[in-house]
Amino acid sequence: DVKVTQSSRYLVKRTGEKVFLECVQDMDHENMFWYRQDPGLGLRLIYFSYDVKMKEKGDIPEGYSVSREKKERFSLILESASTNQTSMYLCASSWGQFYGYTFGSGTRLTVV
Amino acid sequence: DAKTTQPTSMDCAEGRAANLPCNHSTISGNEYVYWYRQIHSQGPQYIIHGLKNNETNEMASLIITEDRKSSTLILPHATLRDTAVYYCIVLTQGGSEKLVFGKGMKLTVNP
């Protein structure tokens, strides 16, 4: 089975800290995605990548950046964490929409 | 603009078939219907997708109307573990579109 692993299940960070959320997939997928999920707002796409060193903005990229140096790893970076970035962050990977996306279990980030 | 419309919630008795409806009246000819679900505190899980023919896999069946304006996801024998939020999504296969999740529908399977 395809596995998408997110490095932390729960994370608490202070306002202004630089935060790294790591995601690793083990099935050689080309595409990787970062979403955040908030009550009442559903899942929203932050950034995605179709190839190594390639990135594209999703619907809500402000305050975030990403890094994809290796095919299997896609990192989400909060340059200066703020309380409104408290959320559940979900990473996903796929060969393409036709094959479906595989999601990780999520990282619940709290910024205090 | 939401491409799909689903009821907010639905209940189903354990062991019975759960029929989850979805309206997608503006679907275009090259758009597929995808279903995902999200069990509490987990990431979404891909279930099934289809274009115009009915599809079945080990998890569910997907019935798409002839005019493609609506579809139904069928869980043939619902279990308590099927309690989740179910998302119906339309998407162009192979295109640059990304998965966009709406609010979905909460299915509660009752003992």
* Averaged pLDDT of chain B: 91
* Interface size between A and B, measured as CB pairs under 8 A: 55
Q: CA-CA distances (angstroms) from residue B23 to A13, A19, A29, B2?
A: 41, 40, 31, 10
**What pLDDT was estimated at residue A2?**
60
For residues A74 and A67, give the distance between their C-alpha atoms in angstroms, rounded to a whole number. 6
Give every residue of chain A whose pLDDT is below 50, as ranges: none
Q: Which of the four pLDDT bands, split at 50, 70 and 90, describes residue B94? A: low
pLDDT of residue A41: 86
Q: Is B32 on the interface with A (CB under 8 A)?
A: yes
Per-residue model confidence (pLDDT) at position B2 = 61
pLDDT at B8 over 90: yes
What would the mean pLDDT of B32-43 be, rounded to a whole number? 92
Contacting residues of A for B93, CB less than 8 Å apart: 96-98
Mean pLDDT of B3-25: 96
Minimal CA separation from B51 to chain A, in Å = 11
Chain B neighbors of A92, CB-CB under 8 A: 43-44, 99
| pLDDT at A40 (0 to 100) | 84
Chain centroid to Cα B71, Å, comes to 8
Transcribe chain A into DSSP letters. ---EEES-SEEEE-TT--EEE-EEESS--SEEEEEEEETTTEEEEEEEESSTT--EE-S--TTEEEEEEETTEEEEEESS--GGG-EEEEEEEES-GGG--EE---EEEEE-
- Please give the share of chain B, as a percent, with pLDDT higher than 70: 94
Q: Is A97–B95 a contact, with Cβ atoms under 8 angstroms apart?
A: yes
Chain A contacts of B99, Cβ < 8 Å?
A: 33, 45, 92, 97, 101
User: Per residue in A72-100, pLDDT tens?
Assistant: 999 999 999 999 999 999 999 988 766 78
Residues B63 and B19: beta-carbon distance below 8 Å: no
Task: For residue range B44-91, list pLDDT tens digits in order.
Answer: 999 999 999 899 999 999 999 999 999 999 999 999 999 999 999 988
pLDDT at residue B95, as a whole number: 57
Q: Can you give the pLDDT at residue B29?
A: 85
